[in-house]
Structure 1
């Protein structure tokens, strides 16, 4: 599906040099640019990513841990987590919200440089920068939560430019994880099924979604999740498109499915679910519906709904 945010590519991931320390070091000497991330937020400079020179003092907060993303526009690209920096008067309650719209500025950066929630900026980035930001955020998330060996419990070390962690105690190797999620537009005649999870912003609804379990195909996950959450059986499950979603480390696999009935029986996971007609969804997408707000622009749920409205899923 054209235009899905985070699904772009950049010039070269350079996977062939990750295992070669000397080659990787030599590459990083060629004017490396670093994207700082702070507590899950990316640095923007205006409406583009805020790349810093490798020796910038703000990066001292990263304690020399740099994650290699590859090469783009004649520069090696890295990501670095500077979450050890804490500004005065930090509002922790705001940061814990589903979406934090506040912008955070570091005193050693220009006034147009600020750390923002990537979900609020994703539609402003070009495809390559969106993909770089999503990859950097996903890698930072993984390293932040996998500092200890799952085999023996000893502290692990960053290897292969950030694409592996190795345990010096038992020798185990650990690799970044991606959690597959099935997300599905369920339709019934002229209507689609949207649901709302507890804790979401007021009025926000989206297509149904759920993690794919071990030993399960994505199509089976679609049928199971819809049945569990709404009591509705579906058929004709068809794959549409995918989206990397680094909140924190998911891969969204988008599907369309046909409902066999329209009676909704909610379980404990959803606060509400409802059927909406094409006419309803036009109003929702225009921001004029009195009760329902559309999924965030850039999210694959938004793309699925727009594709359905345009008739391209038929």
Structure 2
């Protein structure tokens, strides 16, 4: 499928982009290069620590749980813990501004009430608790998930197979045999609102053809492909619609396990969509009135506000979409 570069973006595209949330953590990319800096932070008694195991973190009713790093490190000595420097907080939260935060990872979770964990704590995934996390908790949970997922799957050198060693506060793995350095990887994926010539929005979904969930269309960027080319290809492959113009709006880290969602809005002159039957099993065009009515009636569900998909849909809608209340 070819991409026709328009002389100007179609009327459906705007110059507005999604809001940029402020940074809440100073990751200290230069500071973490100092050898032994994590050990120094642990022994200083000033650092806090997030605990992750098997893609779940320790949380309490108040949000993400932060243990005293020195005490927790000692208590987990027999559990095979590993450490990563996450950074220093930049905004007021349950942590004071400037608090150094570490990540401790475990192969197996330990029971609440042991190893300094509160008895009322629990292990939970991000989707389960995101609704009760503040901005700092959210950013640290996502960062911790991303880097812990990378460590879990990149323990050996891809060149020679030797076990790699951790450096730079947990942000580099070095092969002791060939001295090659390996850095965390993120997989770029485009996620798109497709708008037709009459202003209607095209949404789709996978799984059973009679399922109610609808969302934006998305797919991974392939090697040698630009983001715009990926938009055109994925929309063409998934729903048989030809994109005539697209515009970048914003992004969201989604490290479950390792994605960066790059949000676009796109226009098409097509009015008929043909799902591929594999990734997309159903698709539907919505006017603004039809979408809101379908959501409120329970006829369909759309993405929650945890994801950029909802932000993209509401960007097209021009405001807040009300959800069906339980």
Aligned to 2:173: 165
Contact 2:252–2:261 (CA under 8 A) maintained in structure 1: yes
Task: Find 1:147's aligned residue among 122, 139, 155.
Answer: 155
Residue 311 (structure 1) shift: 6.3
Which residue pairs with 2:43 in the alignment? 29
RMSD: 2.5
Report the Cα offset of residue 68 of structure 1. 0.6
2:60 aligned residue (45, 57, 63): 45
Instruction: Tell me the secondary structure at the aligned position of residue 266 of structure 2.
Output: strand
Give the secondary-structure state (helix, strand or coil) at the position aligned to 1:115: strand
Equivalent residue runs for 1:224-303 within 5 Å: 224-267=233-276, 268-286=278-296, 288-290=297-299, 292-303=300-311
CA contact (8 A) 1:196 1:273 kept: yes
Residue in structure 1 matched with residue 13 of structure 2 by the alignment: none
TM-score after normalising by structure 2: 0.81
Q: Structure 1 stretches of 5 or more lacking a match? A: 87-104
Question: Within the alignment, does 1:80 sit opposite 2:104 as a pair?
Answer: yes
Q: Corresponding residue for 1:304?
A: 312
CA distance 1:180–1:173, shift in 2 (3 Å):
same
Range with bigger deviation, 19-28 or 64-73: 19-28
Pair 1:221-2:221 in alignment:
no
Deviation at 1:276, TM superposition (A): 2.1
Please give the alpha-carbon distance, in whole angstroms, between the structure 1 residues aligned to 2:259 and 2:22: 16
Check whether the contact 1:81–1:140 (CA below 8 A) recurs between aligned residues: yes
The 3 A distance-change label for structure 1 pair 293 and 34 is same
Q: Tell me if structure 2 keeps the 8 A contact 1:61–1:82.
A: no
- Structure 1 runs of 4+ off > 4 angstroms? 1-4, 199-202
Write the distance in 2 (CA, Å) between the matches of 1:3 and 1:112: 36
Residues 134-161 of structure 1, C-alpha deviations (whole Å, 9 max, x = no match): 0100000000011111000111121111
In structure 2, the gaps of 5 or more residues are: 1-16, 90-96, 321-326
Q: Aligned equivalents of 1:281 and 1:197: distance in 2?
A: 18
Residues 166-175 or 56-65, more deviating: 56-65
Within 1, Cα distance between the matches of 2:79 and 2:231? 40
SS of 1:9's equivalent in the other structure is coil
**Cα distance in 1, alignment partners of residues 160 and 210 from structure 2:** 41
Query: How many residue pairs are counted as aligned between the two chains?
Result: 290
Distance 1:200 1:78 in 2: 45
Q: Measure how far apart 1:26 and its partner are.
A: 3.1
Give the deviation of 1:258 after TM superposition.
Answer: 0.7
8 Å Cα contact 2:81/2:105 also seen in 1 = no
**Deviation of residue 301 (structure 1)?**
0.3
Higher Cα radius of gyration = 2
Q: Secondary structure at the match of 1:263?
A: coil
Give the counterpart of 1:69 among 80, 86, 92.
Answer: 86
Alpha-carbon distance in structure 1 between the residues aligned to 2:152 and 2:267: 40
CA separation in 2, counterparts of 1:147 and 1:201? 42
